[in-house]
Amino acid sequence: MKKQIDLKKTKVYSDFVFDFLNENKTLKDFYNLSFDIKNFKKQLDMKKSFPLLKRNILVKELMSQYSDIEDKKVLNNINLLSKESTFTITTGHQLNILTGPIFFIYKIISIINLCLELKKKYPKNNFLPVFWLASEDHDFEEISEVYFRDKKINYLTKSKGSVGRMKLDDFSAFLDEIFKFFHTNNLAKRIKKIITSAYKDKSTLASATRSLIHQLFGDKGLIIIDPDSRNLKKMFASYMEDELINNTCEKFVNKTIKSIKEVYSEKYTPQVNPREINLFHLDVNSRERIIIKDTKYILSDKKLSEKEMLKELYKNPENFSPNVLMRPLYQEVILPNLCYIGGPSEMSYWLQLKGFFDYHSIVFPIINPRASVLLITPKMRKKINKYLINENEFFLKKNEFINLNIKKHSDVDINLDYLKIALKNQFKLLDSIVAKTDSSFLGSVNAQKKKQFNGIDKLEKRLLKAQRRKMSLIENDLNNLYNEIYPDDIFQERKLNFIDIYLRYGDTFFKSLFNNIDLFEKKILVLDIK
């Protein structure tokens, strides 16, 4: 039986996202349909009018992007996209080196498993998992770090501009640094071969990332799409024209933000604030925001009129790139998509977009967070069992976690709550006496009350500190265990790289994820890996 943790006990999500997951009525205007398998029938009906012409362009483009990959299952899936009964389930992420944090993997398995569930429920339709390569991002520093064997390893480059177009210069030196930690067993040889094959002789980070993801999940029929494409952007050009002329995204997103703030007031901070123009212009070594000043569009050192700007857009649509708020619209315009699976922060900005989608008459997809997984190794499980730890306790602050479990195993009762209860009752009696005699004494009584309670708190802390010294071995175990959950004080799934886990557990690790991830359960999966 698999173990799960109720999201309420984790504080992984903001109140805003948590309310969305719980279908709070105050948020009903900010999305279309909730994540329920029955709602996919409604979504299918709304999306069935997706134009055949777009499907054909999509198939042609994907076949071109896969021209160097021979894989029957993926190619068959791509061809299925030409059928009106075929729809996509999408996730996406930045082009992290070697996939970056392990939740990258959880995202992909989430959509693959969801497609299988939907096929069972709606057998007449095809549901294809699609990974959206965020190849047009520009912040390479953010994605260049790999956390491996408790070490941060960075790939340094002088390249600028769109990360997907970035040339992989001197990448072998970076790989050699990673491979230093590999053993010589079959598992290590296999993953080393996969990595080397993915990055060797690949011209760009986008092509290398595609190769790596394909080698890991191609057998599951995963389709990887690179949106940095002239043909795909031609389908989106009219929407970019509207953005350039009318600044529609800013208008509608700001309106939505205002509406959400009316409900959440100070508790809500927008995940992303829109700009006047939510597009970038791409060049060989740059990715620049498009701004307008005195009726002129500014592109580097050029100033273009509206007519000149639109001419440039339709002549070279590949040089225009939607930002984080326009990207979801781009995705839904070019794909017969039913659902987007993302991280908690992605849910936040998707919920800012419903009005913007409605303006463009584009069906708003069902959205839901990816799977969240807490990995427990045999070594960790041994400590958990030894100290009778409940997995919910891992979502306490570190000091709270250690104190709680020190108290559990202390041979003396450090918890002085019983004294506080007795003291409370005594002061309650004293309060009634003061009330019947002279209420002017009440201030003195309250001061004494505060002093006594503070005294007990201090005593409890000193006792705990003394006991911790006596129980230093237990504390050390608890500290090490907590650090496995939060390496560098960051939740495990946002730090670990999958390679580190794969080298120890191989394909059984992936099989466990596929066998246990179920998005409809809406809980954090606690997965013992063996």
- How does strand 523-528 pair with strand 373-376? parallel
Cα 492 from Cα 201, distance rounded (Å): 32
Between CA 332 and CA 62 the distance in angstroms is: 16
Answer yes or no: is pLDDT of 434 > 90.
no
Q: Tell me, what's the pLDDT at 78?
A: 98
Question: Does residue 216 fall inside a structural domain?
Answer: yes
Check residue 317 and give its pLDDT. 97
Q: Considering the domain boundaries, does residue 64 fall inside one?
A: yes
Position 6 scores a pLDDT of 86
Query: Span 386-402, mean pLDDT?
Result: 94
Give the residue among 268, 260, 264, 312 at the shortest CA–CA distance from 290. 312
pLDDT digits (tens, 9 = 90+) for 242-265: 999 999 999 999 999 999 988 887
Dihedral of alpha carbons 60, 65, 67, 73, sign: negative
Residue 110 within any structural domain of the chain: yes
pLDDT class of 140 with cuts at 50, 70, 90 = low
Whether 83 maps to a domain, the answer reads yes
Q: In sequence order, which residues have a C-beta less than 8 Å from that of residue 348 and are 6 or more positions away?
A: 14, 16, 17, 270, 271
- For residue 180, what is the DSSP state? T
pTM above 0.85, yes or no: yes
Count of structural domains within the chain: 1
**pLDDT given for residue 252 in this prediction:** 97
- At a CB cut-off of 8 Å and minimum separation 6, what does 426 contact? none
Q: How far is CA 444 from CA 235, 428, 432, in A?
A: 76, 14, 14
Average pLDDT for 42-49: 96
pLDDT at 202: 67
Of 137, 136, 147, 142, give the one whose Cα is nearest residue 102: 147
* Phi, then psi, of 51 in degrees rounded to 5: -60, 140
* Residue 522, both tokens: 């809406």
d(CA 505, CA 500): 9
The answer, yes or no, to whether residue 284 has pLDDT greater than 90, is: no
Q: Between residues 527 and 145, which one has the greater pLDDT?
A: 527
- Contact between 226 and 206 (Cβ < 8 Å): yes
Q: How far apart are CA 218 and CA 68, in angstroms?
A: 14
Confidence of residue 414 (pLDDT cuts 50, 70, 90): low
Q: Give mean pLDDT, residues 274-283.
A: 94
- pLDDT value, residue 411: 67
Encode burial over 280-311: b for 16+ CB neighbours within 10 A, e otherwise: bbbeeeebeebebeeeebbbeeeebeeeebbe
Does residue 299 belong to any structural domain of this protein?
Answer: no
**Secondary structure element (H or E) that encloses residue 373, with its range:** strand 373-376
In terms of residue numbers, what domain contains 187? 14-233+323-370
Is the confidence at residue 34, as pLDDT, over 90?
A: yes
Does residue 221 form part of some domain?
A: yes
Residue 188 lies in a domain: yes
**Token match 């059984």: residue?**
508
435, containing H or E segment: helix 417-437
Q: Which of 339, 75, 85 is nearest to 219 (CA)?
A: 75
How high does pLDDT run on average in the chain? 90
pLDDT digits 0-9 by tens, 150-185: 888 888 776 666 777 777 777 888 888 889 888 888
Q: What percent helix, strand, coil does the chain show, rounded to 5?
A: 60, 15, 30
Instruction: Write down the pLDDT at residue 116.
Output: 98
296-299/302-304 β-pairing: antiparallel
**pLDDT exceeding 90 applies to what percent of the chain?**
63
- Asked if residue 85 belongs to a domain, the reply is yes
**Euclidean distance between CA atoms 75 and 71, whole angstroms:** 6
